[in-house]
Amino acid sequence: MNKLGPIGVFDSGYGGLTVLQEIVKALPEYDYIYLGDNARAPYGNRSFEVVHEFTLEAVNYLKDRGCRLVVLACNTSSAKALRTIQQIDLKHSEDPSFRVLGVIRPSTETIGSLSKNNCIGVLGTEGTIQSGSYRIELEKFSPHTKVIQHACPMWVPLIESNQHQTDIGKKLIENDIRELLAMSPAIDTILLACTHYPLIINDVKKIVGEKINVVSQGPIVAHKLHDYLRRNTFMDAQLSKGGNCTFLTTENAAVFNTAATQFLEHPISASQIRF
């Protein structure tokens, strides 16, 4: 039998902290290792091959650190790497009880039922939108739902540099939202399909008004993970439950700690790692 291990939560950088926070709120008893590949972020505009290579490296690293389950909090990794990791890289693994999950499936299982008009707007990075993953997955769970997508390549750099509150930042954000809404007047639900976007959810809500429901993924992913662990008792049995959280980054730890305060409600102390 495997040693008990933590849940790994991976993101290209800081944004996954918004997902981790919701997971820890819902499942505080487990141990977690958060890994941000800040040195190589952003992933949003990278090719399938590169996102797969970087994500697999991170997954293997977390596995070597003892994780029994890794959640790819990053939408770009979930869109461009998860399927290959699950269907090819892990298929012949000598460790069949190790698992990797993403954020797209839990989101698409949930979001269809939130739209009265059966029309959902999805905002994400260039990579997530180009992959078509949300459209493909939503079609499975909610075939009557129309998906209108729009890529917002400027949002991650704007949020990370804290420029989303400047006049030009606000204008860029508003323009993207207007472009999405111009594609269909039926959109009544918008999914923020990127780890960083929950940080500006109030700004998005202000722009779209009360008639449109703006949804962030953290609570959905946390709820679905809870459900997954209840259904998959083999997984629950191999997870350690000490309530600890370790933070790792591939960039400078002090820089990570400072930037993380934008995403988390409490201070953290990360360590720098190399693959």
Verify binding: residue 195, ligand DGL, rule CB under 6 A.
Answer: yes
Q: State the maximum Cα–Cα separation within the chain, in Å, rounded to a whole number.
A: 57
Verify binding: residue 215, ligand DGL, rule CB under 6 A.
Answer: no
CB contact at 8 A, 73 and 19: yes
Nearer to ligand DGL, 77 or 110 (CB): 77
Beta carbon of residue 101, minimum distance to ligand DGL (angstroms, whole number): 15
Q: Find the catalytic residue in 67, 119, 194, 245.
A: 194
Given the rule CB under 6 A, which of 37-45, 83-91, 92-100, 243-251 is the region that contacts ligand DGL?
37-45
Q: Is the dihedral of CA 16, 18, 21, 26 positive or negative?
A: negative
Classify 45 as helix, strand or coil.
coil
194 is catalytic: yes
For the chain, the first-to-last Cα distance in angstroms comes to 27
Tokens encoding 48: 């399938």
Instruction: Tell me the β-bridge partners of 9.
Output: 34, 71
Phi, psi for 8 (deg, rounded to 5): -90, 140
State which of positions 154-173 bind ligand DGL (CB under 6 A).
156
74 is catalytic: yes
Nearer to ligand DGL, 189 or 217 (CB): 217
- The residue from 5, 8, 15, 112 that contacts ligand DGL (CB under 6 A) is 15
Verify binding: residue 70, ligand DGL, rule CB under 6 A.
Answer: no
Tokens encoding 96: 């069949």
266: exposed, middle or buried (C-beta count within 10 Å: 0-12, 13-18, 19+)? exposed
- Cα distances (Å, whole numbers) of residue 219 to 24, 31, 245: 10, 18, 18
Verify binding: residue 108, ligand DGL, rule CB under 6 A.
Answer: no
Verify binding: residue 76, ligand DGL, rule CB under 6 A.
Answer: yes
Given the rule CB under 6 A, which of 69-77, 140-148, 229-237, 267-275 is the region that contacts ligand DGL?
69-77
Classify 43 as helix, strand or coil.
coil
Place of tokens 């999405």: 180
Verify binding: residue 196, ligand DGL, rule CB under 6 A.
Answer: yes
- The residue from 9, 41, 159, 200 that contacts ligand DGL (CB under 6 A) is 41
Residues contacting ligand DGL: total by CB under 6 A: 17
Nearer to ligand DGL, 44 or 106 (CB): 44
Phi, psi for 190 (deg, rounded to 5): -120, 125
Verify binding: residue 44, ligand DGL, rule CB under 6 A.
Answer: yes
User: Where does this chain bind ligand DGL (CB under 6 A)?
Assistant: 11-13, 15, 41-44, 74-76, 125, 128, 156, 194-196
The residues annotated with a catalytic role in the active site are 74, 194
